[in-house]
Structure 1
């Protein structure tokens, strides 16, 4: 492992000390006052991300996430022919290192942005990974607004999975009529007559924060439904008081700890308590949950940046 990689993933400072310093700063007080979000349409989510990925079509905006196996060693030690679902695959920066590490693993990758899926396919097919075209299965799916496609989990298996959750999803959270529209030629990879039999892992890496807060529970429930019993969800996302949160202006707030960028994409910053409540409320069991605090130095600007991420592992009960 390189020195840069080791530095990037160490715990460099205490989160509680950072919290106190930020909350004592009067110039940042607008981040912490109560906020009543206005009702807004979510129809521009995929359009905003399509435009985002079109602007960053070279793929250089996202670096390959080589730290995955240090943070999630379960991926490196998984059984042969395991199924992984990468939710919100972007340009493939998470899927590619997984495909590199395990020669027999199958990576199913979804995104709400067709532009992102095109970029991911180009990047991964251009790699020198063995049999990558057979092992990378991209498809379009917005997991926060519609159910998983039927080839991934059929109606019978979906209902069985719902019965195992602690809470039921409101009918208006998931548009069941959209399931058929998500069908692709991946149906040829079915393991049984009804569906492919579930995922061994779901990775949710810097994806949930882009979902409106009121849709997060339904989105996580979809992840729960496609996992096999005993399967793991691997989570990493923006944490409370991360430097990117503090860069948002007051007029960019669209909720409490929730912001929208000028390009229409949005970001939420998780506390451990909120993350725990979201995952446990749909039936997951907590395996790991902690802040990852990283001090990064911009040598050109001689500026120290305090990055905060939430790292978590959640398991579907056997």
Structure 2
């Protein structure tokens, strides 16, 4: 296991404790009716989330430039690069990134209208040009919503919000937005993450797929499973890892082992 920018990087997730197993055993599944309703209302629930929280919920990802350069050492970020924040939310990845790498040509989409509007407002305030679109990755599409394909895309905690049966469709849609030879960098929730263990009763939709109290959903990935999804869609995996971090709540004296998956894929066909 190696230290990687504040995270420990490895090829395996963590071993569950006896307490973890007991908590998982107490989790119960939601009804078929609620399961179907969550799928139907997925866009509405994220729209409500952004209407309620505006720009205030997620912090800007100020680690993004450093991490991208580490994940993509062969890319010359001094040159103009077309960059897409896929599932952009309010642009918590995009805005810190362009502040550090000003040569980026910016593209962004989300399936929440409210999120895209908030991003556009911030871009206007900062006098940044960003091509935007409202896109649902889980619906098959024949082409990219943008006039050109990009050199680099990121999917940061995006796929986990989509039903696992639609991950393959999502990867194929992303592929259409990236040039052959271009890259997509993915970071998302990993199997055995503390957040997965702490879900209570009537929160489990299916294996490793849960609903939060606000109706948004979260899936927890196995690293090889994530890689297979993109490889089936014409990508080659050049790096994949579990990221481990222990978060500490000093006030409550609690430690939470967080587990994420991270990978880089290059479009080959």
Task: State the TM bucket, normalised to the shorter chain.
Answer: 0.7 to 0.9
| Match for residue 230 of structure 1 among 178, 181, 195 | 181
Matched residue count? 261
1:212/1:14 CA distance change after superposition, 3 Å: closer
- What is the TM-score normalised by the length of structure 1? 0.74
Please name the residue that 1:103 is paired with.
102
Matched, 1:66 2:62: yes
Whether contact under 8 Å (2:16, 2:192) holds in the other structure is no
Please state how far the C-alpha of 1:78 moved relative to its aligned partner: 2.9
Please name the residue that 1:159 is paired with.
none
| Match for residue 19 of structure 1 among 15, 19, 33 | 15
Matched, 1:121 2:120: yes
Q: Residue by residue, what CA displacement relative to the aligned partner does 1:165-209 show, whole Å, maximum 9, x if unpaired?
A: xxxxxxxxxxxxxxxxxxxxxxxxxxxxxx42x110111000000
| Match for residue 274 of structure 1 among 225, 239, 242 | 225
Task: Measure, in 1, the Cα distance between the counterparts of 2:10 and 2:80.
Answer: 39
Deviates more, 1:69-78 or 1:44-53: 69-78
1:72/1:8 CA distance change after superposition, 3 Å: closer
Whether contact under 8 Å (2:246, 2:257) holds in the other structure is yes
Matched, 1:316 2:267: yes
- What is the TM-score normalised by the length of structure 2? 0.87
Task: Measure, in 2, the Cα distance between the counterparts of 1:295 and 1:12.
Answer: 12
Please name the residue that 2:41 is paired with.
44
Give the superposed CA RMSD.
2.7
Matched, 1:10 2:7: yes
1:237-276 superposed matches below 5 A: 237-276=188-227
Structure of greater Rg: 1
1:36/1:296 CA distance change after superposition, 3 Å: closer
Q: Residue by residue, what CA displacement relative to the aligned partner does 1:36-78 show, whole Å, maximum 9, x if unpaired?
A: 9946253311110000011111x22111111112322039833
Please name the residue that 2:132 is paired with.
138
Task: Measure, in 2, the Cα distance between the counterparts of 1:62 and 1:279.
Answer: 27
Higher strand share: 2
Whether contact under 8 Å (2:182, 2:266) holds in the other structure is yes
Where do 5+ consecutive residues of structure 1 fail to align? 1-5, 153-194
Higher helix share: 1
Task: Measure, in 2, the Cα distance between the counterparts of 1:316 and 1:229.
Answer: 5
SS of residue paired to 1:11: strand
Whether contact under 8 Å (2:247, 2:258) holds in the other structure is yes
Task: Measure, in 2, the Cα distance between the counterparts of 1:114 and 1:317.
Answer: 32
SS of residue paired to 2:40: coil
| Match for residue 208 of structure 1 among 155, 159, 166 | 159
Task: Measure, in 1, the Cα distance between the counterparts of 2:262 and 2:226.
Answer: 10
